[in-house]
Structure formats: structure tokens, C-alpha cells
Amino acid sequence: MLVSAKEMLTKAKAGKYAVGQFNINNLEWTKAILQTAQELQSPVILGVSEGAGKYMCGYKTVVGMVNGMLEELNITVPVALHLDHGSFEGAKACINAGFSSIMFDGSHYPIDENIAKTTELVNACNVLGLSLEAEVGSIGGEEDGVVGAGECADPDECKAIADLGVTMLAAGIGNIHGKYPDNWAGLSFETLDAVQAKTGDMPLVLHGGTGIPADMIKKAISLGVAKINVNTECQLAFQEATRKYIEEGKDQQGKGFDPRKLLAPGAEAIKATVKEKMELFGSVGKA
Ligand code: 13P
């Protein structure tokens, strides 16, 4: 059964480790992540962006697929199904579809509007027992080939949003989605420290987990990060393994064209990436 992310993140913050959010794109992705979490006895959060939700034929399809896998694969570790960077409408749709966790990203609104919309969702999620992630300070990333720098959140605004009763808070600390440019300045630990000082026990969320060096990840966890999002790195691992399979001509040998064979190296590569991250984040054996 899907669970809210509240308990796993409260434990992670107290135990000074982080739970990984791995974004899913299809059945192979989902299966690879769930099997790895089960094997390593780690809690896990499956992230679904609005685009990926649309791609997978809508939120209800995703909920049906994930619930089916939890049962058929005998998954016993805590699993949360989480909307990633949701709009207000998307959040409501996922609440109705049966997600167990929601992110409402109001970081692009003026703070008052972010507060008003987040408050409305806090109430809805509390009634239903769902966890809710809010965001302050937008996470940069590539748009039309231009890599925007990640903003640093205002710690007072973080406190205002945390005090609304959200479960977890994503605060921009110079992190960005996708690959980091060579001239990236690194994470702002000064900002993270100030945010944690204002928000206390609130589990903090680090987006843009792809490509952040291990020492920065560890330092971020020591300063209150309890959830780390990884997406691009699994995509790159899948792509590289699939490319190798085809370049080696394996799709042309015997039944190598069978999608169950063609997609297998990519799925194994996702498993290896997820394992590496769970070990780095310290969530292994914490189920
Ligand atoms: P990356 O794609 O950079 O790993 O970021 C994932 C993320 O933060 C999803 O919200």
C-alpha cells in the first residue's frame, strides 16, 4: 500500500540520512526502482512530473500501475507516490487520482499567492493523510538551451511556508535540474544553514540531485536535507546502456529485438544508479 512520505522523512531527518525521490517514466523505470528499494530495504519516493503523468496516460493509470506492482512484486518497504513540481490544478488531480504525496510548486508566484495556494492544499492533504511538499526559491535548469542559475531562497519566506504545516520544504540553494554547467558555483550551504535555523525539524528537499558531488550531498544531509530528487541521472544511465546494446548489434542477434531484451540493459542501469544513490544518501536498511 502506498504511504504518505511524512513518517519516512521525519525518521530520515532525525537519523541524518535522506530518502531518494526517483522520477518514473514508464513501467520499466517503476519496476527497476521498486525492486532496488525492496532489495536494499530502503524507503523510496516515486516522483511523477505533470509531463510524465501525461505521457503515462494520466494519473489514474500511474496509480493503477504502481499499486499493482506493490502487490505483485511483494513490495513491503515504504513507498510514496509523489507529484513532482505540481501546479495547483495538477495537485488537485493527483489528490483525486490516489497519489499519496503531492508537491505544489508555487515558487514562481509572489510569496503571498504561494502562501494562499499552499494553505488550501495543506488543508486538503491533512484531511486525506497525504504529505505535501512546498517550494520557495525556484530551482534553475535548462530551458531552450539556456541554463538558468538556481535561486537562493529567502529563509524568512521558507519559515512562513513551513509554518503553514507542510510536510517538507524545497528551498532553492543554487541547485538546478539536469546536468550542472562547468561554471556552476556549487550549493549555497550558507543559505541551507539559515533555512534550517528558521525551519527546525522540517525535512528539507534537495532538487536537482543529478551530478551533485558526493561530499556536497553529505554536507547537505548534515544540514537538514532529508529528501533528494534524482531524475536525469537515471535517464542518462538508461540511454547509455541502451545505446551500447544497439551499437554492439545485440538487437540484431537472435531475439534481441524483443522489447523485454532490448530494454533490459537500460533497466539494469537504472537499478545500479538507484543503488548507488541510496547508498550515498544513507537510506539502505532504513525501511
Ligand atoms: P535532476 O533531473 O537534475 O536529477 O533533478 C530531479 C528533480 O529535482 C526532480 O524534481
| CB atoms closer than 10 angstroms to residue 178 | 18
Write out the three cell numbers for 234.
Answer: 537515471
Q: Distance between CA atoms of 88 and 85, rounded to whole angstroms?
A: 10
Q: CATH says 6-281 is which class?
A: alpha beta
Q: So which residues are the catalytic ones?
A: 84
154 lines ligand 1 (CB under 6 A): no
Q: In the predicted model, is pLDDT for residue 144 greater than 80? A: no
135 lines ligand 1 (CB under 6 A): no
Q: How far is the CA of 136 from the centre of ligand 1 (A)?
A: 16
53 lines ligand 1 (CB under 6 A): no
pTM, whole model, 2 decimals? 0.97
Q: How far is the CA of 174 from the centre of ligand 1 (A)?
A: 13
Q: In the predicted model, is pLDDT for residue 147 greater than 80? A: no
Atom of ligand 1 nearest to the CA of 176: 3
Q: What is the mean pLDDT of residues 65-75?
A: 98
Backbone angles phi, psi at 44, to 5 degrees: -150, 150
Burial class (CB in 10 A: 0-12, 13-18, 19+), 127: exposed
**Which residues have a Cβ under 8 Å from the Cβ of 88 and sit 6 or more positions away?**
104, 106, 117, 120, 121
Minimum CA distance residue for ligand 1 atom 5: 208
Total residues belonging to the chain = 287
Predicted confidence at residue 51, as pLDDT, reads 96
Closest CA to 137 of 148, 146, 150: 150
Helices (H), 98-140: 111-128
Predicted confidence at residue 148, as pLDDT, reads 65
230 lines ligand 1 (CB under 6 A): yes
SS3 content of the chain, % helix, strand, coil (to 5): 50, 15, 35
210 lines ligand 1 (CB under 6 A): yes
Confidence of residue 139 (pLDDT cuts 50, 70, 90): confident
Q: Return the bridge partners of 22, or none.
A: 46, 230
| CB atoms closer than 10 angstroms to residue 275 | 16
Q: What is the mean pLDDT of residues 195-215?
A: 97
Predicted confidence at residue 137, as pLDDT, reads 84
177 lines ligand 1 (CB under 6 A): yes
Q: How far is the CA of 155 from the centre of ligand 1 (A)?
A: 22
DSSP at 211: T
Decide if 130 contacts 4 (C-beta within 8 A).
Answer: yes
Dihedral of the alpha carbons of 158, 161, 162, 163, in degrees to the nearest 10:
120
User: For 224-236, what is each residue's pLDDT tens digit?
Assistant: 999 999 999 999 9
Q: How far is the CA of 202 from the centre of ligand 1 (A)?
A: 21
E-assigned strand segments in 173-222: 204-206
DSSP at 148: P
